[in-house]
Amino acid sequence: MSSFDILIIGSGFAGASAAYYLSQKPGLKIALVDQENQLGQHASGLNAGLFRQALLDPQVLDWTQESYHHLKNPPADWKEKSIYQASGSLFKDQIQNLKKYSQILSQAQIPHQLLNAKEIQDFFWKTEKDQGPWLFLPQDGIVQTRAYLNNLVQASQSRSVQLKLTWQVKSIKRHQNLWQIKNQTDQSLEGKILINAAGAWAGQLAQASQLQAPPFSIYRRHLFISAQGKKSLKDLPYYWDLEKNLYFRQDPQGLLLCTGDEEAHPPEKAKVEEGIWSALQKNFAQYLPKLDYGKRLQAWACLRTKGPQGKMLVDWDSQVPNFFWIAGLGGHGLSASLGLGKFASQKILTKL
């Protein structure tokens, strides 16, 4: 049995960001295991790539600043540097909600503006009835998600992290003050500290090993790529209607579109439901009738996981020793990634 200081289950943004910071401490042995045969097979590699700072949780907003700093100023240990396009973002919601966002953003000293209809008259999807306001964040933008994830994991591997793919955890147990995990071929690893960063599988994994799991909510979301319409979105901000929960952004092939569907789903690979495209077309025709897009080119679905009360769970387990949760990121794992990874690593290193 191979021994490590830290075992991390899950190589998405939760696990990869923790590995990135933990591996910066010399001498630590870290194993990063994942059930898939390559990185980014679930939410971390299949999301819309939207870096977002319009958040109501000050802690999560603070975490996004670490991510933003690295995306804008790529460190030397990143193989791919140009992975961020600061397109800006434009959010629509009821005025009282936008003011809440604005207040929190102001407290964090993050650039933003509340714009009226005249100020966004060049944005062709606006209708005459739509008088706003809108919340504009110039620093938000679009991330090449797989390149970002690869950067974190490859940098970690260059230090002390052993990446083990196609390593599906079947059991977790505590033995002689160590955590032991066993996979589908009865291979075992042991470590002083276990980090559960298994995404939609985090709760199921704990329960299957007779550990208590918080009440996670898992839901499916669809994303679509369409051909370019008559007007280009190049260099325009991504748009998110928070009230209607639909968004779109530019894409090399045309547009990325989402109707914000949230259907309860078990922790298993999500499949595309064809009826969602029809629902998207209906919603966009109703709420964004001027948005021009072409035929559907691609479709995929992935899972989002919310923690208790919709909060991220980034903390020690309250029942068992040396078991750390990084789960329930609720679709904000990309934006908060490096901040929550740094936060988690600081907590974990106090026990080593």
- Are both 178 and 199 inside the same structural domain? yes
Q: How confident is the model over 114-144, as pLDDT tens digits?
A: 998 888 766 666 666 777 899 999 999 999 9
- HSE, side-chain direction, 13 A CA sphere, residue 57: 15
Confidence class of residue 236 from pLDDT cuts 50, 70 and 90?
Answer: confident
Higher-pLDDT residue of 216 and 228 is: 216
In a domain, 82, yes or no: no
Q: Are residues 199 and 65 in the same domain?
A: yes
pLDDT computed for residue 235 by the predictor = 80
- Does residue 119 form part of some domain? yes
Within this chain, do residues 229 and 123 fall inside the same structural domain, yes or no? yes
CATH number of the domain residue 237 falls in: 3.30.9.10
The alpha carbon dihedral of 345, 348, 350, 352 has a sign of: negative
pLDDT digits (tens, 9 = 90+) for 295-351: 999 999 999 999 999 999 999 999 999 999 999 999 999 999 999 999 999 999 999
Residues 299, 236, single domain; the answer is: yes
What pLDDT is recorded for position 32?
Answer: 99
The CA distance from 46 to 281, in Å, is 21
Q: What CATH number is given to the structural domain containing 33?
A: 3.50.50.60
What is the residue range of 107's domain? 89-138+217-306
Phi, psi angle pair for 150, to nearest 5°? -60, -40
Q: How many domains does the chain have?
A: 2
pLDDT digits over 160-173, tens only? 999 999 999 999 99
Q: Is residue 79 part of a domain?
A: no
Q: Is residue 123 part of a domain?
A: yes
Residue 80 lies in a domain: no
Same domain, residue pair 254 and 335: no
Are the C-beta atoms of residues 208 and 171 closer than 8 Å to each other?
Answer: yes
Q: What is the pTM of this model?
A: 0.96
Residues 253-310: tens digit of each pLDDT: 999 999 999 999 999 999 999 999 999 999 999 998 888 899 999 999 999 999 999 9
CA atoms within 13 A on the CB side of 242: 19
Same domain, 286 and 331: no
